[in-house]
Every structure is written in structure tokens, then in C-alpha cells.
């Protein structure tokens, strides 16, 4: 039985005051909810303030990125130890905006996934196809490649730290959502691939989130799919009432 996992990706939004206010609002709204794992991923600079606001709650903290080196001359980057130092549990890795805006490759993402696990963080490892790739009928090939390359060298023990987020790029921030059937089809393909790579027991235990314009109105039908174990939420995670409503729908 996989426990549902809903994570909010705040992206490059908020300021110090609104980040704390959003976190505090969620703590209040979600008090007592323990049947769903919940995390929020604010910008790096607000992690510490948000960690303080979440301290007496079940809501976990995550980063939106992490670098694979431990320390040194890597200007602008943030290490696993630094993130753990400010109470992060999770790290989003390979988000489509990092792949397609910042140019991150499967190889770099693989190094980050590996380093995050070794460094004691739980990766939320993102995969997903572009619209042109879906239209060309190559969704499964693209996503399978991203999963295989992103998880290269990750052994049976270490994979248990990973949540996979399937996020069709054409659905992120566009208001277009994959239909529940489209999401389920790719999630089932990913689980099949995980079965090949890690065996049935591990594949059945791993959580696969859907992301792409998830909101209160489509949460129930997406989460009603057998292989959709949670949501990675962008826009709708910026409002207490929307994100809390999504978590409560799942709970
Ligand atoms: C995301 O950023 O991971 C995301 C899914 O964004 P949105 O929910 O806004 O589409």
C-alpha cells in the first residue's frame, strides 16, 4: 500500500513574508491530516523561514534543486548538507524547467539523484515529454529513457528513497492537464519499467506522482487512477485554500 504524497513546488515565487504566511496557513488547515505525506518546496532563500513555520507540523520541506558535489568552488550551487542543515527532507531533481530552460541533461540529473540519496535527501525525480514528442508518438520512449538514465547506477536499496514525478511538459503551468487515462498510461509504463529494473516488490512500493496543472477540481479523478500515487503541484500550491483542498480530497 503506497501512502499518497502531495508536494507543492513554489518555483520562483513568494517573498519572505508571503512564504511564511503560506506555510503557516497550510499548517493550520492541514492539522491532524496524517494519511497523506505533504511537502512544500520554496525557493532556497526562504527554506529556513519556512522550516521554522512548519516546525510543529507534519508538513515536510523540500528544495527545488540540489548540486551533486559536496562543497567547493561551485558558485551559485547548493549541496545536500546545506539543504539538510535547513531541515530539507526532499529535493526536486530534473524538473522540466531545469531540463528545458536551464539545459540540464539526463547525465547531470543522474548525478544529482545519486548524490541526493547518498547525502540523505529524498529525491522527487521528474520526467516528462514535450508536446512535440507526444504528438510524434514518442512519449513512452522519451519517458523511459529519462527514467533509465536518471536512475542509472541506483541500486535496489537506494531506489527506495526516490519518488518519481511524471510531468508532461505541455501540461505544466499551461492549464492543460493530462486526462486521468493519459496519466495512468504513462504511470503504468513507468511502473512496468521499474519492475524490469528492480523487481515487482520494489516497483509496487515506489510512489509515482503526476504533475501538470493539477488543481482541486481534477485531484480526485487523477488520484483515482491505480498508478497515480500523488501530485506535484505548481500554481495551485501557492494558495492555502487550493493546496489544502487537494490534500484533504486525497486524505
Ligand atoms: C510543476 O511545477 O511541477 C507543476 C506541475 O506546475 P503546475 O501545477 O503549475 O502545472
Whole-number pLDDT of residue 130: 96
Bridge-partner residues for 90, per DSSP? 62, 122
Count other C-beta atoms under 10 Å from residue 174's C-beta: 13
Task: Please indicate whether residue 97, judged by its CB atom, sits closer than 6 Å to ligand 1.
Answer: no
Nearest 10 degrees: Cα torsion 193, 198, 201, 202: -90
How many residues are present in the chain?
Answer: 251
Where are the domains positioned within the chain?
A: 5-250
Whole-number pLDDT of residue 166: 98
Whole-number pLDDT of residue 1: 81
Which residue is closest in CA terms to ligand 1's atom 6? 234
Whole-number pLDDT of residue 8: 98
Residue 230 and residue 207: Cα distance in Å, rounded? Answer: 7
Residue 23 and residue 46: Cα distance in Å, rounded? Answer: 11
Domain 5-250, what architecture? Alpha-Beta Barrel (3.20)
Bridge-partner residues for 92, per DSSP? 124
Whole-number pLDDT of residue 22: 98
Whole-number pLDDT of residue 18: 98
Whole-number pLDDT of residue 168: 97
Contact 41, 27 (CB under 8 A): no
Contact 51, 87 (CB under 8 A): yes
Whole-number pLDDT of residue 173: 87
**pLDDT averaged over consecutive 10-residue blocks of the chain (251 residues)?**
96 98 98 97 98 96 98 98 98 98 98 98 98 97 98 97 97 90 98 98 98 97 98 98 98 97
Q: Give the closest residue to 147 by CA, choosing from 132, 159, 131.
A: 159
At a CB cut-off of 8 Å and minimum separation 6, what does 127 contact? 94, 143, 146, 147, 150, 164, 165, 166, 167, 190
Q: Is 189 exposed, middle or buried (0-12, 13-18, 19+ CB in 10 A)?
A: middle
Whole-number pLDDT of residue 175: 86
Mutate to test the pocket of ligand 1, among 176, 232, 238 (most ligand atoms within 8 A of CB): 232
Task: Please indicate whether residue 9, judged by its CB atom, sits closer than 6 Å to ligand 1.
Answer: yes
Task: Please indicate whether residue 94, judged by its CB atom, sits closer than 6 Å to ligand 1.
Answer: no
Q: Give the closest residue to 233 by CA, choosing from 106, 223, 203, 225.
A: 223
Q: Rounded to 5 degrees, what are φ and ψ at 69? A: -85, 155
Amino acid at each position: 500500500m503506497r501512502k499518497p504524497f502531495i508536494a507543492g513546488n513554489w518555483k520562483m515565487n513568494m517573498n519572505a513574508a508571503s512564504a511564511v504566511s503560506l506555510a503557516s496557513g497550510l499548517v493550520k488547515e492541514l492539522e491532524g491530516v496524517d494519511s497523506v505525506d505533504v511537502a512544500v518546496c520554496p525557493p532556497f532563500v526562504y527554506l529556513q523561514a519556512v522550516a521554522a513555520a512548519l516546525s510543529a507540523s507534519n508538513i515536510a520541506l523540500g528544495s527545488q534543486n540540489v548540486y551533486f558535489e559536496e562543497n567547493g568552488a561551485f558558485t551559485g550551487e547548493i549541496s545536500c548538507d546545506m539543504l539538510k542543515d535547513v531541515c530539507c527532507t526532499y529535493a526536486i531533481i530534473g524538473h522540466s524547467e531545469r531540463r528545458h530552460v536551464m539545459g540540464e541533461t539526463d547525465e547531470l540529473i543522474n548525478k544529482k539523484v545519486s548524490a541526493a540519496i547518498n547525502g540523505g535527501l529524498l529525491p522527487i525525480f521528474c520526467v516528462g515529454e514535450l508536446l512535440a514528442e507526444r504528438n510524434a508518438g514518442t512519449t513512452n520512449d522519451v519517458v523511459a529513457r529519462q527514467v533509465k538514465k536518471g536512475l542509472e547506477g541506483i541500486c535496489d536499496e537506494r531506489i527506495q528513497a526516490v519518488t518519481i514525478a511524471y510531468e508532461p511538459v505541455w501540461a505544466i503551468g499551461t492549464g492543460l492537464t493530462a486526462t486521468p487515462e493519459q496519466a495512468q498510461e504513462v504511470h503504468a509504463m513507468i511502473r512496468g519499467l521499474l519492475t524490469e529494473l528492480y523487481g515487482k516488490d520494489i516497483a509496487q512500493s515506489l510512489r509515482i506522482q503526476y504533475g501538470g496543472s493539477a488543481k482541486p477540481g481534477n485531484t480526485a479523478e487523477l488520484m483515482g487512477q491505480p498508478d497515480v500515487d500523488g501530485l506535484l503541484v505548481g500554481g495551485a500550491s501557492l494558495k492555502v485554500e487550493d493546496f489544502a483542498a487537494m490534500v484533504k480530497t486525497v486524505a
